[in-house]
Every structure is written in structure tokens, then in C-alpha cells.
Amino acid sequence: MKPRSSLQIQKSVIFALVLREARARIGDRRMGAVWILIEPICHLLIFSLLYTMIRGRTISGVEYPVFVLVGMAPFLLYRNTALRLMDSLRENRSLFGYKQIKPLDTYIARVIVEACISGLVYALIVFGFAWWGFDMSINNPLMWFMTLTLGLLFAFSLGMVLALITHALPSLKLVIRMVFFPLYFISGVLIPAAYLPHALMPILLLNPFLHLTELIRGEVLPHYAMVDGISIGYVTGFTLVLLFISLGSYRARRLHLISTKNG
């Protein structure tokens, strides 16, 4: 048998892990696949109904369900990616007995699976919206895709940091999950950032999720006005620093991650 390089072995490992993760998410439980589609639809229906009852059907010149979908889909992707990476060590503990499989491989596999699943769900919802008569065109598709990719890299870095933190302090997992709930509201997912308290805006702008949501909306909706201070440079810098910290910490603790049972 021809010997394989380290890169070829890692590619095979990640491919096998992707298949395993996909089966775990949607294959073993019939309701798993259904819930993946139902969750964003429930979010859309509930908040669209509430907003329509309070303020009307449109916001920033577009139908409110379209406005929410454009910001909600990326946020759910980033949230789910970070939280899935946080749980990766515990759920894949038995695999680390094989020397070819490293925790980083499970992180990469989970990002790929989350991106594919979220992309498929988003495409189905967009098709349904377009069939229903909503305008689902994208004003700047190239920048939209680049910003989505940057956000996914940010979620990957954040997830690795959370995995390292919760490996050392497992009791923080519940707290971290709870923190994402207020982030849902202060990241401009449900309303434009311009509707958030102006006095708190300097603090709110420290949140990379708010920048990502506003940037994505600005690239999809042609007449959307972003608040002052939104910057793709801030998200890029924040992501690079977080990626450096996460990869450096992972390299320093990679053997400890495999040898202990925390996480």
C-alpha cells in the first residue's frame, strides 16, 4: 500500500467525521432533520406576527419576514457553530483513542456540517419566500458571501475558545448558552441597529455579531442604512486576534485535551 502524507490522512479523517456528524444530526433521529427546518421557521412566524401586530408589516422598506430572515439565518449559523464546537470534546471523547484523530479535526468537521445544513435550510426557506411572492434578491452577492465566510471563521474561533474554557471549567457551559439569548436581541437580529438605545451604542458596537448582522443586511437589502460605526475591519481584526488566541491555546493544550475527561 502506498504511504499517505499527513495532509491526506487528515482529509480522510475529516471526511469520515463529517459523515459521522451529519448522521448524528439528522440520520439517527427522524425529528432531528425536521427540527433543523422548524426552528428558523418558528422564529420567523412568532416574531413576524408580533411585529406586525405592534408596528406593521414592513421595516426599512422591506417585508418584516425578509428582514428577519436576512439577519436571523447567519446568527443562528454562528451561534450553533460556536456551541457545537464547545461540546465537541465531550461528544467525541471516544474517538481520541485513535492517534489519527485530533480535537481540531472534530472542530473542522462540525463547522462544515453546520455550514452545509444551514445553507440547505436557508435555500429552502428562500425558495419558499420567493414562491410566496417576496423579493429575495441579493444586492451585493460577492460581499454577502465574503461577510458570511468571515462570520463563520469568527464562529469557528469563538467555538474553539469556548471549548477550551469549558474543558477547564465545565460548569460554565450553561452560563455560556444563556449569554447567547440576550445576544439574539442586542445583535440587531429582530430590529435594525438604529432602533437600539443610542446611549448604549458605543458599548453595543463592541459586539461582533452586531457588525456582522448589519453588514449582511446592507449587502442584501439595497436601501438598508447601517448605523455609524459598523465596520468589516473591526470584525476582521477581532476574528484574527481570536483565531490566534484559539489556535495558540489549542496547540499548547492539545495533549491535555485528549488525556483528560473534562469538556
Question: What mean pLDDT comes out for the span 176-200?
Answer: 89
For the chain, the domains span: 6-259
pLDDT of residue 32: 60
Cβ-based neighbours of 191, under 8 Å, separated by 6 or more? 59
pLDDT of residue 10: 78
pLDDT of residue 81: 93
Q: How many CB atoms lie within 10 A of CB 121?
A: 19
**Of 91, 100, 83, whose CA–CA distance to 20 is shortest?**
91
pLDDT tens sequence across 101-152: 888 889 999 999 999 988 888 888 888 888 888 888 888 999 999 999 999 9
Residue 147: alpha-carbon gap to chain centroid: 12
244: confidence class by pLDDT, cuts 50, 70, 90: very high
Q: Which residues of 150-162 are buried (b: 16+ CB within 10 A; e: fewer)?
A: bbbbbbbbbbbbb
Mean pLDDT of the chain: 85
The residue assigned the cell 401586530 is 53
Does residue 1 surpass a pLDDT of 70? no
Cell representation of residue 259: 488525556
3-state secondary structure of 5: coil
Question: What mean pLDDT comes out for the span 80-100?
Answer: 85
Q: How many whole angstroms separate alpha carbon 238 and alpha carbon 233?
A: 8
Q: Phi and psi for 63 in degrees, rounded to 5? A: -60, 140
Cell representation of residue 112: 462544515
3-state secondary structure of 50: helix
